[in-house]
Amino acid sequence: MKKGTSQLTLDYFSGQLKNIKNNIKEGKEDPLLPLKDYIDAFNQLKIKKDTKLTDSIDVFHSLCDIFDYKVSAFKSLLYSISSDKIQSFLDDDECLEKIVDIIPWVSTVDLVRMSNQFLSHILVMMEKERKELPSCVIDDYNKQEIEFILHIEDKLFSEQKKAIIKEISSVLSEKSSKMNINEIIGLLDEKMKLGKVRIFVILLHLIQDGNLELTGTAEKAVSKNNMVALS
Amino acid sequence: MNEFQILSYLLSRRGDIIGADENTMMKKLGLKGDEGLHQLYALLDSYSNKIEIFGLKVERNPLNGYWFLTYLDELGELTTVNPFSGRTRIAMTFISILIAAICNDTTPSMEEIKKIRKKKDITRDLKDLEELGLIEIEKGLVRLTEKVGFYIDVIKFLEKFKQYLEKNY
């Protein structure tokens, strides 16, 4: 059964979470960091009825595992702080002053402190589409695989050319040494069943190769009086 | 008023309520249901990308799930100031409470915090912090609230504090 967009997104989301889970399990990713791809993946995930319940359970299961890892990591971080060292720290008279620089403060933005002019500028800029600058890509031709196409002779076409020469020779010897081009195309098509266009192309090749000779002028060709003769 | 203006207003709210949760934003933007939630995330994503050029970003308080506006990390590092508008006294008492909470298995008492702060009286500081909604005091015990997430990155603090202790004590 063909999968819907929602199902595919759910599969992608499930895969991402399993990756995160495995990375945490293998120590490649810090469980205390926020899930960066979570919102992006969730943003694409349209909860509709065409997603499989089992897959949704799978996603939930992965999320629970990740949550479990996060709680365990937080607990282990908390308990890894030595109580003796904390006591030594607390005994220090200037303990608080000494840690001022390591405090990771979060500053919420206070728009009231910003000027109206600046805010108006922000809002105008936000409504503008941001265009990505073209990136410069340098091709490494030493690593690039170049495909060569070798045009080999179409054996079938050559065989058809030979067969047509043979056929024209016999026709011309039966009738006369000269025939109208329309007549000969019709006759050859009837006998060889190659299609009029292909026969015409082969005749052009034969004329070019000098096997056939076209007599008459361009004006006559229009009036369908051109004749071919085997040279 | 466009959607970005509404988001700017909601995410920069200060005072009793900082920022906004999903429900409030959806209500103000006229979005409904699951589809509305996806639209909200798409909007927040777009908004966040566009305000980056001003050194701002949209952050989520992991303790209460409220979204708010803050500065990009590189800008924050450039101008590290405590969010108590430079009131070092309150900031220090706040850190004392945090350390007391880390050191104690139970909710720390006012007396324990006073010992860490090494000040005779911290009543005024505690009252200010209570007014800011960062702590709740009940029967002499001081409990940190979810609003702490708007002022400090708790996980980062724990990691840095541990490293500091290991290096210096």
Kind and range of the H or E run holding B165: helix B154-168
- Average pLDDT of the segment spanning A151-177: 75
Please state which of the ranges A76-85, A222-231, B51-60 shows the lowest mean pLDDT.
A222-231
CA B127 remoteness from chain centre: 18
Using a CB-CB cut-off of 8 Å, the residues of chain B touching A34 are: 62
Cα of A138 to nearest chain B Cα, Å:
28
Kind and range of the H or E run holding B33: helix B33-51
| Tokens coding A138 | 């340098």
Tens digit of each residue's pLDDT (9 = 90 or more) over B83-129: 776 678 888 999 999 999 888 878 899 999 998 998 888 999 999 99
**CA nearest B155 in A: which residue?**
A32
- Average pLDDT of the segment spanning A130-145: 68
Cα of A1 to nearest chain B Cα, Å:
26
pLDDT the model gives residue A164: 86
| B75 vs B128: CA distance, rounded Å | 28
pLDDT the model gives residue A49: 55
Furthest CA-CA distance within chain B: 56
pLDDT the model gives residue A231: 47
CB pairs under 8 A between A and B: 142
| Tokens coding B130 | 């209570």
**CA nearest B73 in A: which residue?**
A106
A108 to B12: CB separation less than 8 angstroms, yes or no:
yes
**CA nearest A110 in B: which residue?**
B12
pLDDT the model gives residue A13: 72
Give the DSSP per-residue string, B88-130.
HHHHHHHHHHHHHHHH-SSPPBHHHHHHHHT-S--HHHHHHHH
**Candidate from A85, A112, A126 with C-beta closest to B169:** A85
pLDDT the model gives residue A222: 39
pLDDT the model gives residue B59: 86
Show the DSSP H helices in chain A as ranges: 5-25, 38-44, 53-79, 83-91, 95-98, 116-127, 155-174, 181-192, 196-209, 218-222
Please state which of the ranges A215-224, B14-23, B68-77 shows the lowest mean pLDDT.
A215-224
Helix B88-103 crosses helix A83-91 at what angle (to 10 degrees)? 150
A81 to B59: CB separation less than 8 angstroms, yes or no:
no
Residue with tokens 């508008």: B85
| Tokens coding B121 | 């009286």
**Candidate from A89, A109, A130 with C-beta closest to B69:** A109
Using a CB-CB cut-off of 8 Å, the residues of chain B touching A127 are: 2, 4
B70 to A98: CB separation less than 8 angstroms, yes or no:
no
- Average pLDDT of the segment spanning B17-25: 89
| Tokens coding A74 | 């937080």
Tens digit of each residue's pLDDT (9 = 90 or more) over A12-59: 777 777 888 888 888 888 888 776 555 545 555 555 555 666 667 777
**Candidate from A96, A103, A127 with C-beta closest to B157:** A103
| A74 vs B136: CA distance, rounded Å | 23
Tens digit of each residue's pLDDT (9 = 90 or more) over A72-129: 888 888 888 888 888 888 888 888 888 888 888 887 776 666 667 777 777 777 666 6
**Average pLDDT across chain B, whole number:** 85
CB-based contact A181:A226 (threshold 8 Å): yes
A88 to B169: CB separation less than 8 angstroms, yes or no:
yes
**CA nearest B60 in A: which residue?**
A34
B83 to A81: CB separation less than 8 angstroms, yes or no:
no
DSSP 8-state symbol, B161: H
Which stretches of B3-90 are assigned E, i.e. beta strand? Answer: 56-60, 67-71
CB-based contact A59:A17 (threshold 8 Å): yes
The yes-or-no verdict on residue B50 having pLDDT over 60 is yes
Kind and range of the H or E run holding B143: strand B141-144
Residue with tokens 């895969």: A15
CB-based contact A34:B62 (threshold 8 Å): yes
A107 to B76: CB separation less than 8 angstroms, yes or no:
yes
| A165 vs A159: CA distance, rounded Å | 10
**Average pLDDT across chain A, whole number:** 73
User: What was the ipTM of the complex prediction?
Assistant: 0.74
**Candidate from B50, B81, B91 with C-beta closest to A107:** B81
